[in-house]
Structure formats: C-alpha cells, structure tokens
Amino acid sequence: MKKSKFKSSTIKQVLHYIRNYKLLLFLSILFATVTVALSLYIPIIVGQAIDLLANGQGKIDLDKVLVLLGNIGIIAIIIALLQWIMNNINNKITYNVVRDVRNDAFEKIERLPLKYIDSHSHGEIVSKVIADVDQFADGLLMGFTQLFTGVVTILGTIVFLILINFKIALVVVLLTPLSLFIANFI
C-alpha cells in the first residue's frame, strides 16, 4: 500500500511539472500517432506490391509496383522527419522539466535550516540535485518516447487488424492476454 501511494504521488509531481508544457506534450503525442500510423501502413503497401507481383496471371505491372515502392520511400522519409521532430520536442520537454525541478530544488535548499546542511555531506546534497535529477531526466525522456509510441503502436495495430480482417483481430485480442498470463505464470 505504501509503495503504490509513493508511486502515485511521484507521478502526480511529475505531471505537475509536465502540465506547463501541454502544447509540446500534445505535439509529441500527435507526431507519435502519425509516425506509428505511417509505420503500420508500410506493410500494407508492401502487401499490395506483393499481390501485384504474384497475381497468378504471369503479368507484372511494374509501373504500379514502382509507384508503391516510391510511396514507401516517401513515407519512410516522412516518418524519419516526424521522429526527429518528436525527439526534439521530447528533449525540450525534458530539458524544461529538469530545469524546473532543479530550480525548485535550489529554492528548497535555500530555505533549509543550516542544521540540516551541516549534518549532511555537501556531496550528498549536490548529488541529489544533479545526479538524481539527471537520472530522472533520462527516465523521463525514455518514458516519453517509448510510452507514446508503444501505446499508439498497440492501438494502431489493433485498428489495422480490425480493418484488414476482423476475425484475425478478434483472435489476437483474445489470445494476447491469455499468452501474457501463461508467460507470467511460467
């Protein structure tokens, strides 16, 4: 009980700092969504190209295949650009949040009684402000990138599966939790 309460209060504190950057957060989520959607669309285009190559009639419509390959190249360039922009946005959010956390930490240190400062090593106090906040920044940056893209990838994959073949999507949605449970049990 104590540990989950600690986690929820920590998450609330992190969200308190992040809320100042709602627009950047929205843009990061938007770019993650578009990037994942385009990444999931590439295999569909590849499938269309394969269907053109293996149409069973012995004729290959090379012009259509080349157009599809060109589309894949354009989409890959767009994905790379959007990922670069998203990484810059995530870096900016992280930098700003870390700056805010450090400023608050320095303000708190300034208000601490001298008795506390004298009873703790100076290196320990500096370590908490610098090293611990750096670790927090690394986790925050990795969390942004992986959380947004991971969640959107899962949801996007399910949506594409439903659009392509509802029966297969239903089997995957039903069997995935079961396989996770069995893997956890093993």
Q: Over the range 41-67, which residues count as b (16 or more CB within 10 Å of their CB) and which as e?
A: beeeeeeebeebeeeeeeeeeeeebee
Cα angle value 180/6/96 (rounded, 5°) = 95
- Position 111: which residue type? R
CA distances to 6, 76, 82, 150, 161 from 39, in Å:
37, 8, 11, 12, 14
pLDDT at 67: 93
Question: Model's pTM, two decimal places?
Answer: 0.75
- Position 141: which residue type? L
pLDDT at 82: 95
Q: Which tokens hold the place of 90?
A: 């995530």
pLDDT at 72: 95
Count CB-CB contacts under 10 A for residue 33: 19
**Dist CA 6 CA 100 (whole Å):** 21
Task: Provide block-wise average pLDDT over 10 residues at a time, the chain (186 residues).
Answer: 60 81 90 91 90 76 89 96 93 88 83 78 73 76 77 84 88 86 83
pLDDT at 132: 74
* Residue 19 DSSP class: G
Q: Over the range 94-129, which residues count as b (16 or more CB within 10 Å of their CB) and which as e?
A: beebbeebeeebeeeeeeeeeeeeeeeeeeeeeeeb
- Position 40: which residue type? L
